[in-house]
Amino acid sequence: MSNLAVLPIIIPMLAGIIVAFTNKNVKITRFLSKLFSIISLLVAAYVTYEVFSNGSIILETGDWAAPYGIILVADQLSILLILTTNIIAATAAFYAPHSLNIKQETHYYYTFFFLLITGVSGAFLTGDLFNLFVFFEVLLMASYALIVLGGDKIQLRESVKYVLINLFSSMLFVTAVALLYGVVGTVNMAHIAERVAEVEQKGILTTIGVLLFFVFGTKAALFPLYYWLPRPYIVPNPVVSALFGALLTKVGIYSILRVFSLIFVYRMEITHEAFIWIAGLSMIFGVIGALSTNNIKLIIAYNIIPAIGFIIMGIGIFNQDALSGSIYYLIHDMIIKSALFLLVGVIAYVAGTSDLRRMKGLIHHYPVLGWLLFISAFVLAGIPPFSGFIGKLLLLRGALSADEIAITIIALLSSLLILYSVMKIFIRGFWGEKEENKTYTKKVSAGLIIPIVCLLTISVFLGIGAQFVYPAIDGIAEYLLDPQIYIDSVLKE
Amino acid sequence: MEYIILLLAGVLFATAIYNLLQKQLLRIIIGTVLLSHGAHLVLLTMGKLKRGQPPILDENVTSYTDPLPQALILTSIVISFGITSLLLVLSYRTAKENNTDNMEEMRGESNE
């Protein structure tokens, strides 16, 4: 049964290879990519069901016993994130044919898309720190190809910066893993956690932890390290932006959550205390960025940063409520960010520009788009009863019970400003008089709208149906608070 | 021996950072290459450089080299090799399309 854990990695990889052979025939490629993304989603759902009913699935690859070989750990946290990833991948597979042009599709878009999903799933599943680096590279390689697909002047320019910053942080990752190996003599995460616990994180271990935090913080776009993020995320096609915004930064934040709830948990006054400050600053600076621009794509891209701030805030506070809030918010944000990127892509397409100053009165022509944006803004900002509200409520409850008043105030204020920054698109772009001399000829096909509606429906369900989802998330938070459960399940002692 | 290699890695890191901060695209790429060399040397040194025999199971061998860093370094070299070649092609196209290889001129405007 333990082989189930490898399926979320294998299926997208095989799909990526198969669609590479059919790239000349777009119709078959489209059909295959939709088919494989649905199969992958169903398998992910089944594995999730198995994990939640029978406990973590641990796969020792090649039958090498735990600390020696590479292991894949499908615990409740990682499998839930994989399920979310597959939901987003399926909607992206249905959105892509309507959004990309033929040239991009025949130039292996679908192959790289599936390889990206492979890398993301692998990063969520692996129980080995060096293997995490390898899966980071798998997903980054695919993202390098996706970001430059089309080969515009701007795309090329921004992708060079994107590759450089990621290459730099990857090399720091290797160095950090090397130093950690030099101290504890293993790269298996459970084994590292056990050995770090034995010496109570003395000496250089905290420094290595902070170095790892810098690496993951760069990938997750946290406060001092986010400067690279907004521009490369808006230059590719909306569907690629949606995948990037929903998945890539979240892999970074997942790694922080994993490493700083399992391994480096004995010097909280240094590490986790700093996280709270970084969270506050990420929220403030991200929101300022979102308010400062009139480019609708850039507004959404900047909104990634405060969202990451909210998640790291829960990791910093590190109690039951705050952690479950973080996980809730992580899943909520993956779904709503991809929905918003897709939606803004459609708006920019019909308006012929992404500059807010050149849009007006769109609601007369595209009422559906307007109301979808309205709902998404509410979901994003956490207006009850939508999903953002549940996550934020848990986070704030955790913050208040830990007496972190300052961060609570910052979080509440930045939520308001997030709402304003997205509402600005609605107010400036959709309200206003009908422009008589301007004609909108572009039709919005149902294929562009249905994926967005699906994502929003899931998002609304996460809010209204919180009583079904919350117990599972609460269980994960409890599981994360006790690293011994993970260590025992992997090393089987 | 370990100290010498670690010093060398430090020098490589310093040169890499210096090159990364330059304006010319090619120099930046050379910086990333040097950076990966530095990281790989650190990785290699962490398993101790000379311990005795090769890691083959044998009754007479009691002290042998740690094989893990060498497996890791191989993976890492392949990855950085691939990324470097991608980066070279990407930079070549970028420099051609934008008619410049100066990073200062590749900043981009605020609203485009």
pLDDT in tens, A166-211: 999 999 999 999 999 999 989 999 999 999 999 888 889 999 999 9
Q: List the single residue in B46, B82, B98 with the smallest CB-CB distance to A181.
A: B46
Pairing label, strands A71-74, A57-60? antiparallel
Please give the single-letter amino acid code of residue A390.
I
pLDDT of residue A67: 83
Q: Which residues of A touch B82 (CB under 8 A)?
A: 141
B104/B23 Cα distance (integer angstroms)? 6
With pLDDT > 90 as the criterion, what percentage of chain B qualifies?
A: 59
Over range A323-342, report the average pLDDT: 95
Helix (H) or strand (E) holding A383: none
**Do the Cβ atoms of A153 and B98 come within 8 Å?**
yes
CATH level 3 topology of B2-51+63-102: Helix Hairpins (1.10.287)
Answer yes or no: is pLDDT of B112 > 80: no
Residue A343: both structure tokens together: 């939606």
Task: Characterize A353-377 residue by residue with b for buried, 16 or more Cβ atoms within 10 angstroms of its Cβ, and e for exposed.
Answer: ebbbeebbbbbebbeebbebbbbbb
**Do the Cβ atoms of B86 and A158 come within 8 Å?**
no
Q: pLDDT category, A431, cuts 50, 70, 90?
A: confident
CA-based nearest residue in chain A for residue B95? A157
A143/A133 Cα distance (integer angstroms)? 15
**CB contact at 8 A, A157 and A123:** no
pLDDT digits (tens, 9 = 90+) for A236-274: 999 999 999 999 999 999 999 999 999 999 988 889 999
**Do the Cβ atoms of A181 and B82 come within 8 Å?**
no
Alpha-carbon dihedral of residues A119, A331, A172, A194, nearest 10 degrees?
-100
pLDDT digits (tens, 9 = 90+) for A98-146: 999 888 888 999 999 999 999 999 999 999 999 999 999 999 999 999 9
pLDDT digits (tens, 9 = 90+) for A362-392: 888 888 999 999 999 999 988 888 888 999 9
pLDDT of residue B95: 92
**Do the Cβ atoms of A154 and B108 come within 8 Å?**
yes
Q: List the single residue in A157, A167, A175 with the smallest CB-CB distance to B108.
A: A157
Answer yes or no: is pLDDT of B111 > 60: no
Task: Give residue limits of the domains in chain B.
Answer: 2-51+63-102
**Of A462, A418, A425, A391, nearest in space to A306 by CA:** A418
**Do the Cβ atoms of A148 and B35 come within 8 Å?**
no
A214/A221 Cα distance (integer angstroms)? 10
Answer yes or no: is pLDDT of A10 > 60: yes
- Which stretch of A34-43, A359-368, A470-479, B78-87 has the lowest confidence by average pLDDT? A359-368
Mutation site for B-interface testing, chosen from A137, A161, A163, A167 by largest number of B Cβ within 10 Å: A167
**Of A404, A403, A382, nearest in space to A393 by CA:** A382
pLDDT of residue A63: 82
Q: pLDDT category, A484, cuts 50, 70, 90?
A: very high
Q: Which residues of A touch B91 (CB under 8 A)?
A: 160
**CB contact at 8 A, A323 and A293:** no
**Do the Cβ atoms of A158 and B69 come within 8 Å?**
no
**Do the Cβ atoms of B112 and A154 come within 8 Å?**
yes
Residue A25: both structure tokens together: 């025939």
**CB contact at 8 A, A112 and A146:** yes
Q: Which residues of A touch B35 (CB under 8 A)?
A: 167-168, 171
pLDDT of residue B60: 77
- A156 Cβ contact partners less than 8 Å away, ≥ 6 residues apart: A148, B90, B93, B94, B97, B98
Backbone phi, then psi, for A294, in 5-degree steps?
-110, 5
Q: Which residues of A touch B46 (CB under 8 A)?
A: 178-179, 181-182
Tokens 């095989």, residue located: A14
Chain A and chain B share a number of CB contacts under 8 A equal to 105
Q: pLDDT category, B110, cuts 50, 70, 90?
A: low
What's the burial of B85, exposed, middle or buried (CB within 10 Å: 0-12/13-18/19+)? Answer: exposed
pLDDT of residue A19: 95
Distance from CA of A136 to the nearest CA of B (A): 11
CA-based nearest residue in chain B for residue A180? B46
Q: pLDDT category, A493, cuts 50, 70, 90?
A: low
**Do the Cβ atoms of A157 and B106 come within 8 Å?**
yes
Instruction: Examine the predicted complex and report whether its ipTM is higher than 0.85.
Output: yes
**Do the Cβ atoms of A293 and B28 come within 8 Å?**
no
Phi-psi label, residue A122: left if phi above 0, alpha if psi -120 to 50, beta otherwise: alpha
Q: Which residues of A touch B86 (CB under 8 A)?
A: 141, 144, 163
Distance from CA of B22 to the nearest CA of A (A): 13
Answer yes or no: is pLDDT of B47 > 90: no
pLDDT of residue A357: 87
Which contacts of B107-111 are long-range, i.e. CB under 8 A and separated by 24 or more positions?
B108/A154, B108/A157, B108/A158, B108/A231, B110/A293, B111/A293, B111/A294, B111/A295, B111/A355
Q: Which residues of B touch A171 (CB under 8 A)?
A: 32, 35-36, 38-39, 80
Average pLDDT of every residue of chain A? 92
CA-based nearest residue in chain B for residue A130? B72
Answer yes or no: is pLDDT of A437 > 70: no
Q: Which residues of B touch A161 (CB under 8 A)?
A: 106
pLDDT of residue A151: 82
pLDDT of residue A116: 97
Q: pLDDT category, A1, cuts 50, 70, 90?
A: low
Distance from CA of A171 to the nearest CA of B (A): 6
Backbone phi, then psi, for A442, in 5-degree steps?
-70, 130
Distance from CA of A355 to the nearest CA of B (A): 7
Which contacts of A17-21 are long-range, i.e. CB under 8 A and separated by 24 or more positions?
A17/A111, A19/A110, A19/A111, A19/A114, A20/A108, A20/A111
**Do the Cβ atoms of A178 and B94 come within 8 Å?**
no
pLDDT digits (tens, 9 = 90+) for A68-105: 888 999 999 999 999 999 999 999 999 999 999 888 88
Distance from the Cα of residue A347 to its chain's centroid:
23
Task: Look up the pTM and report it.
Answer: 0.94
Q: Which residues of A touch B75 (CB under 8 A)?
A: 130, 134
With pLDDT > 90 as the criterion, what percentage of chain A qualifies?
A: 73
Answer yes or no: is pLDDT of A62 > 90: no
pLDDT of residue B64: 80
pLDDT digits (tens, 9 = 90+) for A297-321: 999 999 999 999 999 999 999 999 9
Q: Which residues of A touch B108 (CB under 8 A)?
A: 154, 157-158, 231
A473/A84 Cα distance (integer angstroms)? 14
Distance from CA of B64 to the nearest CA of A (A): 15
Neighbours of B87 (CB within 10 A): 23
Over range A429-452, report the average pLDDT: 81
Identify the sign of the CA torsion A275, A276, A282, A283: positive
